[in-house]
Amino acid sequence: MQRQITIGLTLVGAALLVAGCHTDMWQQPKVKAQQKSEFQGFSNKAASRPLVAGTVPRGKMKLDEAFFTGFQDGKLVKELPIQVDEMVLKRGQERFDIFCSHCHGRNGDGKGMINQRGLVLVRPPASYHSDRLRNMPIGHFYDVITNGFGVMYRQAPGVEPADRWAIAAYIRVLQTAMNGNLNDVPSDERSKLEASAGKPSIADAATPGEEKS
Amino acid sequence: MPQLFKPSANTLAKLSVILAGLLPVVVLYAGVTVSRSPYNTKVDIPIDQPIPFSHQHHAYELGIDCRYCHTTVEKTAIAGVPPTETCMSCHSQIWTNSPLLEPVRKSYETGLPIAFADGSPGWTKVNAVPDFVYFDHSIHIDRGINCNVCHGPVNKMQITWKGNDFQMRWCLECHREPEKYLYTDAANPNLSGREQVFNLYMKLQEGAKLTQREYNMLYKNEFRYSPNTKEIEEGKALVKKYGVTKESNVDCYTCHH
C-alpha cells in the first residue's frame, strides 16, 4: 500500500513539473509587426496590412499642398515651407548622410560609395553642383525624394516629409559651400580656415561633375 | 548460507548515498548549462537565410548607415526589416544579374515576401524575445546603447548570427547597474545618446582611433566599468544625463506589461 502511495505521489509530482514546460505564453496567438499570418484572406501572408486607400489618420489630413508634394498650383515651390534653423540643417545633414550619401556622396558630388563600386553605371547619381540643379527650385529635391527620379527609387518610406525638407535645405547648404570662397566666411572664422589651409578638406575632394540626365 | 554482500558493498552503499545527494545538483547544473549553451540559445551560430546578406559588406565596407534599412529603430519598438524596394534601390543598378539576388528580384516582381529557392518563405528571425516581453528599440538607442552591445559585432558579420542569449538574466545585468554600461565619446560629450550610437560607427568610417573601451564595446562585449573606480563616477553621471530611471528599470512591468 505504502509503495503504491509513493509511486502515485511521484507521478503527480512529475506531472506538475512537466506541466511547467509549455510555451503558449512564449508564442502567443497574436501577430507582431512584420510577422507572418496564416489568414486566408491575406494573399501575401503578411500580418501587417497596408492602409486602405484614402485612409486619413485623425488630424493628419495632408492639406498643405506645398509641404506634402513640393508643388504649389502645379509649379515646384521655390521657398522652403518650413522654418530653417541650425537644428533643421543638422537634422538634414544627418538624414542626408543616412539616405542619400552612399550614392550622391557626403558632399553631394555624385561620387558616393555605390557609384564607386557600381563600376559602369548607365546613369550615375547626379551631382548637386551642376547649373541645372543649382538653379532648380527647392521643391524639386522634395519631389525626387518622394517619388524618385530617373533610375533613383523613391525614398519616401524611410524619410518623413519634414525630414525631406530638411534634406532639401541641406542640399542647398552643400551647393553653397561647394561654390563659396573666403569672402563668404565670417571674419572671426577665417583665421581657423586659414590655419587649416593645405590640409585636405571636403571642398578639395570635390570636383563638380557634369550632369547626365 | 554465504554472505550476499562482500565487505566492499559497504563502501558502495555509502557512496551511493552521497551520489544520490549530489544528483539533484548535477541535474540542475546540467540543465542550466544546456539552457545557456549555444545549443539552446543559438548564440554565435550563423543562420541560413534566403540571401547570404552580409552586414560587413553593406554596413562596414560600404558605410551604409544602419538606419537606411532599419528605418524605425530610433522611433519605434521594432528596428524593422526593410521592404524589398530598399534592396532594389541599389540592386536595380548594381549586381542586377547576380543569381544570389534572384529572390529579391522575384519578391519585387510578385509583391510576395523574399523566400528561399524551394519556396519556403521569409528571412529567418535571428533575434527574438518571447511574446510576453515588450522590448523597445527606440528607448535603448535614446540612452546611447550601441547596436553591437546587444547584437554582437554586426558590422563584422558576413552572415548574421545572434550576439547574445537574450535571457532575462542578461537583460537585468544592465538594467540593475546601467552606470557600468553607458557610453559617451569623450571627444563629443555634447551629443545626445542617440547621436552617440551612430557617431561611433561614423568614427569607424573615418578611420578614427577607437579607445580600448569603444573597441571592447563594439567587438568584445566586455566593457563594464568596475565598481569603486573613477570611471564608474562617469557612468553615474551618464545615468543622470540620459535620464535613466534605475528604480523602474527593474520593475516587472517595464518589460512585461
Mean pLDDT by 10 residues, chain B (257 residues): 84 92 94 91 92 94 94 94 92 90 92 84 88 94 94 94 92 93 90 93 90 91 86 91 90 92
DSSP assigned state of A26: T
Give yes or no: residues B32 and B129 share one domain. Answer: no
Distance of CA A113 to the CA centre of its chain: 17
Residue B79: closest CA among chain A residues belongs to which residue?
A33
Question: What are the angstrom distances between the C-alpha of B71 and each of A92, A102, A155, B173?
Answer: 15, 16, 11, 28
CB pair distance less than 8 Å for B64 and A102: yes
pLDDT at B74: 94
pLDDT tops 60 at residue A17: yes
B28: containing domain:
8-36
Give yes or no: residues B73 and B16 share one domain. Answer: no
pLDDT at A199: 59
pLDDT tops 70 at residue A202: no
| B133, amino acid identity | V
Q: How far is A36 from chain B (nearest CA, A)?
A: 9
Give yes or no: residues B185 and B240 share one domain. Answer: yes
Give yes or no: residues B75 and B16 share one domain. Answer: no
**A113-122, A193-202, B215-224: range with highest mean pLDDT:** B215-224
The minimal CB distance from A99 to the residues B68, B121, B131 is found for B68
* Inside any domain, residue B228: yes
Total number of domains constituting chain B: 2
Fold of A83-178: Cytochrome Bc1 Complex; Chain D, domain 2 (1.10.760)
Give yes or no: residues B62 and B26 share one domain. Answer: no
Q: How far is B32 from chain A (nearest CA, A)?
A: 15
pLDDT at B120: 80
Give yes or no: residues B13 and B77 share one domain. Answer: no
Give yes or no: residues B185 and B146 share one domain. Answer: yes
Residue partners of A137: CB distance under 8 A and separation at least 6: A75, A76, A77, A78
pLDDT tops 90 at residue A143: yes
Spatial contact of B163 and B151, defined as CB atoms under 8 Å apart: yes
The verdict on A17 touching B (C-beta cutoff 8 Å) is no
Q: How far is A73 from chain B (nearest CA, A)?
A: 30
Q: Which residues of A touch B86 (CB under 8 A)?
A: 157-158
| A188, amino acid identity | D
Give yes or no: residues B217 and B181 share one domain. Answer: yes
